[in-house]
């Protein structure tokens, strides 16, 4: 598949204004005065392709006065798509028509959030969705993040403020620039989509290792504070405490035996209280059994509710599919003979059938919801009844306690003293057992950590094996470096492989042993950037099915560093010969790549590509009432 996007037309429209800007498949130049709306054309294209920021109509005053929405018609492999996005209200929503602009009224639009457009374009262009491993801020833990179509757009649209400056590819934005290298890899198929699940598992396993380390460190600090680092000493203390507790229990048993002998004969009232207490306990058990049965019934009904809700969700999904089919292609059948009926122009889609099914499901859900409510009510009643028996049991316990106090208990004070000693010994014993348990937990965490490390090593080997299956990186870089140097020389800048190259780690261009982001703004820097992008697009033109660049290039203001002659002393300027060479290359490249250039005054030899000329005065720019199509 030729993974290429062709921009056909841009339509801006308001209540009483409409203008269409069409683009050639090769090179289209839009020239004219500053502040005439030239750059706005590229910004509107970028806006339709999912840019987050909306327009400031204090700056774009004429656009705000005349236009409410913008359309972008693009052509992808085997599919034409029209994107509609509001300029004012609900600007976060995009209406997607799977048709040309002229045919859009025959289609139901798919309404999506602007952030979802990238995944749809990835699917239409057969570009894999890549999840890469990313370190969490201020942590050794890992997570994954997705590379998006907006990342690729940085290599396709170079705004005026980036062209020829060191904020090229949004280098000034730390939350974006770090993704330039993996985006380059995505564009050139140097990432394997099959590695997504492995990357996620590596991130999860790394996080588990870090969690084990943190837990071990926390437990070890706790043991150090308690001076309990020696597990052997702890075990000896436990054995000694167990022996003391057994001695005290034996001593207590002697007093208890004497108590039983002194009270062998209990009163009938005491027996009656005990019997009544037993009955209350049995009734509580019966209530709990009934409640358990009701809970089982409730679970069954809730599962049925989930089933009905899933059916309703699937029905809604069926209706959603209808949005992708022309209304006149929807099949209608006679309800009596089931024969196909002929559409009339005024026919609209009939939702009665799906509506009936939906209402039936909603009716079942409502009935089931009422039943669930009744079961919950019964459970609540049982809980109240259980609470009443709890209160009754407490009253009986108090009565038993009062009656027991009347029975003589020999050596009561001695038993109390022994009980206190046993409680104190038990408390110390549990404390030592807790410390031993922490030692065992640390040992278990160490074992788990080593197992996770083994798993991580195996995952990294599997990942490297998958990465070895992707495009040959050396072949790609060899081609790109060769074209990068050739273009720099074509643009009249001396270049050799030692001083001009694309870095093998960052995949960013270098010139005279300095990164593109280290050079000062000017004609040289713009030439470095265009040579870099040109090399990428030359690879695209040679292997369109093997590269994921969208196949278009949007450039704003190539002439801003234009000098007056080739002998100028200002190194920031671009001499006329270099300027001419850049345009000659763009013309050559446009045989395979769609290029749209915004320029103040393009050179005379490219006038045939100068499709539009905007003026700042008398409203003859992008907003031009003389060219109103309404």
Q: Give the relative orientation of helices 473-490 and 576-589 as an angle to the nearest 10 degrees.
A: 140
Please report whether residue 234 resides in a domain.
no
- Token reading at 183: 């985006």
At 378 the three-state DSSP class reads helix
Any domain includes 548? yes
CATH number for position 389: 1.10.287
Q: Which two tokens stand for residue 5?
A: 């996007």
Cα gap 349→352, rounded to integer Å? 9
441 occurs within a structural domain: no
| Same domain membership, residue 489 and residue 399 | no
| H-type alpha helices, 491-617 | 523-542, 576-589
Judge contact between 164 and 521, C-beta under 8 A.
Answer: yes
Q: What is the pLDDT of residue 566?
A: 44
Q: Are residues 180 and 288 in the same domain?
A: no
Distance set, CA 363 to CA 300, 308, 314, 357, 370 (Å):
18, 10, 17, 10, 11
* pLDDT given for residue 80 in this prediction: 94
Q: What is the DSSP letter of 522?
A: S
- Same domain flag for 169 and 270: no
| β-strand partners of 30 | 598, 612
- pLDDT value, residue 323: 66
Q: What was the pLDDT predicted at 533? A: 97
What pLDDT sits at residue 314?
86
Could you say which DSSP state residue 543 is in? -
Partnered with residue 614 across adjacent β-strands are: 32
Same structural domain for residues 617 and 503? Answer: yes
Q: Is residue 560 part of a domain?
A: yes
Q: Are 621 and 487 contained in the same domain? A: yes
Whether residue 196 lies inside any domain: the answer is no
Q: Which residues of 279-294 are buried (b: 16+ CB within 10 A; e: fewer)?
A: ebeebbeebeebbeeb
Domain boundary (359, 377, 407) is at 407
Which of the listed residues 407, 426, 455 is the one where a domain comes to its end? 407
Q: Which helix (H) or strand (E) holds 272?
A: helix 268-321
pLDDT at residue 430 is higher than 70: yes
Q: What is the pTM of this model?
A: 0.62
Residue 567 — pLDDT band, cuts 50, 70, 90? very low
CATH number of the domain bearing residue 617: 3.40.50.300
Let me know if residue 317 belongs to a domain: yes
Q: Is the domain of 397 the same as that of 492? A: no
pLDDT digits (tens, 9 = 90+) for 460-518: 776 776 665 555 788 899 999 999 999 999 999 999 999 999 999 999 999 998 999 99
Q: Which two tokens stand for residue 86?
A: 């509001």
- What is the rounded distance in angstroms from the CA atom of residue 68 to the CA atom of residue 76? 26
Residue pLDDT, tens place only, 269-325:
677 878 888 888 899 899 999 989 889 888 988 898 899 889 888 888 877 776 676
Based on the domain organization, do 516 and 590 belong to the same domain? yes
Are residue 402 and residue 483 in the same domain, yes or no? no
Mean pLDDT value of segment 150-174: 93
Range(s) of the domain holding residue 600: 6-191+471-627
Looking at the structure, do residues 402 and 476 belong to the same domain, yes or no?
no
Residue 104: pLDDT over 70: yes
Closest of 82, 68, 210 to residue 139, by C-alpha: 210
Least confident span in 116-130, 346-360, 504-518? 346-360
Asked whether residue 304 is assigned to any structural domain, the reply reads: yes
Q: Cα–Cα distances in Å, from 251 out to 248, 263, 264, 417, 422?
A: 5, 19, 21, 11, 11
Residue 344 has pLDDT above 70, yes or no: no
Could you tell me if 179 and 314 lie in one domain? no
Residue 527: inside a domain: yes
pLDDT at 351 over 90: no
Residue 608 has what pLDDT? 93
Q: Are residues 161 and 13 in the same domain?
A: yes
Domain count, the chain: 2
The yes-or-no verdict on residue 407 having pLDDT over 70 is no
Q: 3-class DSSP state for residue 52?
A: coil
Domain boundary among 388, 407, 426: 407
- CA-nearest of 184, 70, 267 to 539 is 184
Q: Considering only CA atoms, which of 32, 129, 158, 47 is closest in space to residue 93?
A: 47
pLDDT digit string (tens) for 207-266?
A: 888 888 888 998 888 888 888 888 888 888 889 899 988 888 888 887 777 666 656 555
The per-residue pLDDT for range 597-627, each reduced to its tens digit, is: 999 989 999 999 999 999 988 899 999 999 9
């Amino acid at each position: 598949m030729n993974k290429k996007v062709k921009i056909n037309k841009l339509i801006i429209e308001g209540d009483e204004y409409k203008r269409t800007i069409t683009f050639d498949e090769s090179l289209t130049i839009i020239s004219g005065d500053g502040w005439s709306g030239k750059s706005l054309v590229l910004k509107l294209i970028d806006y339709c392709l999912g840019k987050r920021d909306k327009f400031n109509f204090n700056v774009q005053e004429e656009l705000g006065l005349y236009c409410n929405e913008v359309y972008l018609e693009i052509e992808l492999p085997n599919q034409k798509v029209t994107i509609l996005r509001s300029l004012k209200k609900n600007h976060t929503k995009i209406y997607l028509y799977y048709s040309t602009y002229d045919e859009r009224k025959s289609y139901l639009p798919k309404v999506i959030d602007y952030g979802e457009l990238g995944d749809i374009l990835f699917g239409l262009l057969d570009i894999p969705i890549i999840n890469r491993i990313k370190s969490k801020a201020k942590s050794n833990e890992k997570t994954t993040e997705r590379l998006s179509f907006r990342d690729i757009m940085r290599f396709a649209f170079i705004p005026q403020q980036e062209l020829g400056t060191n904020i090229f590819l949004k280098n000034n934005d730390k939350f974006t620039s770090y993704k330039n290298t993996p985006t380059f890899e995505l564009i050139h198929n140097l990432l394997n989509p099959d590695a997504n699940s492995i990357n996620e598992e590596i991130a999860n396993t790394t996080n588990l290792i870090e969690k084990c380390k943190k837990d071990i460190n926390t437990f070890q600090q706790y043991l150090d504070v308690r001076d309990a680092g020696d597990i052997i000493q702890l075990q000896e203390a436990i054995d000694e405490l167990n022996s003391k507790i057994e001695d005290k229990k034996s001593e207590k048993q002697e007093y208890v035996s004497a108590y039983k002998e002194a009270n062998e004969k209990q009163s009938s009232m005491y027996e009656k209280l005990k019997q009544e207490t037993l009955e209350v306990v049995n009734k509580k058990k019966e209530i709990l059994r009934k409640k358990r049965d009701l809970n089982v019934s409730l679970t069954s009904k809730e599962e049925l509710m989930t089933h009905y809700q899933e059916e309703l969700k699937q029905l809604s999904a069926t209706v959603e599919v209808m949005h992708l089919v022309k209304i006149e292609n929807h099949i209608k059948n006679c309800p009596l003979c089931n024969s196909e009926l002929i559409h009339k122009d005024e026919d609209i889609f009939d939702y009665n059938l799906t509506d009936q099914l939906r209402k039936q499901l909603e009716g079942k859900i409502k009935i089931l919801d009422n039943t669930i409510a009744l079961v919950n009510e019964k459970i609540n009643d049982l809980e109240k009844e259980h609470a009443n028996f709890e209160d009754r049991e407490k009253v009986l316990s108090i009565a038993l306690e009062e009656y027991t106090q009347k029975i003589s208990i020999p050596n009561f004070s001695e038993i109390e003293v022994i009980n206190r000693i046993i409680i104190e010994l038990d408390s110390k014993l549990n404390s030592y057992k807790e410390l031993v348990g922490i030692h065992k937990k640390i040992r278990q965490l160490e074992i788990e950590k080593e197992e996770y490390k083994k798993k991580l090593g195996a995952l990294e080997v599997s990942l490297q094996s998958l990465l070895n299956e992707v495009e040959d990186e050396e072949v790609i870089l060899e081609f790109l470096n060769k074209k990068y140097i050739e273009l720099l020389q074509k643009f009249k800048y001396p270049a050799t492989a030692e001083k001009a190259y694309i870095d093998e780690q960052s995949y960013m261009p270098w010139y005279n042993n300095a990164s593109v982001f280290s050079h000062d703004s000017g004609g040289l820097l713009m030439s470095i950037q265009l040579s870099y992008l040109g090399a990428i697009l030359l690879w695209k033109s040679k292997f369109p099915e093997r590269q994921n660049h969208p196949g278009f290039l949007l450039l704003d203001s190539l002439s801003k560093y234009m000098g007056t002659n080739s002998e100028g002393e200002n190194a920031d300027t671009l001499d006329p010969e270099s300027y001419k060479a850049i345009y000659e290359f763009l013309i050559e490249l446009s045989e395979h790549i769609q290029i749209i250039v915004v320029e103040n005054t393009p050179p005379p030899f490219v006038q045939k590509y100068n499709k539009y000329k905007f003026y700042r005065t008398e409203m003859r720019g992008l907003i031009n009432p003389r060219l109103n199509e309404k």
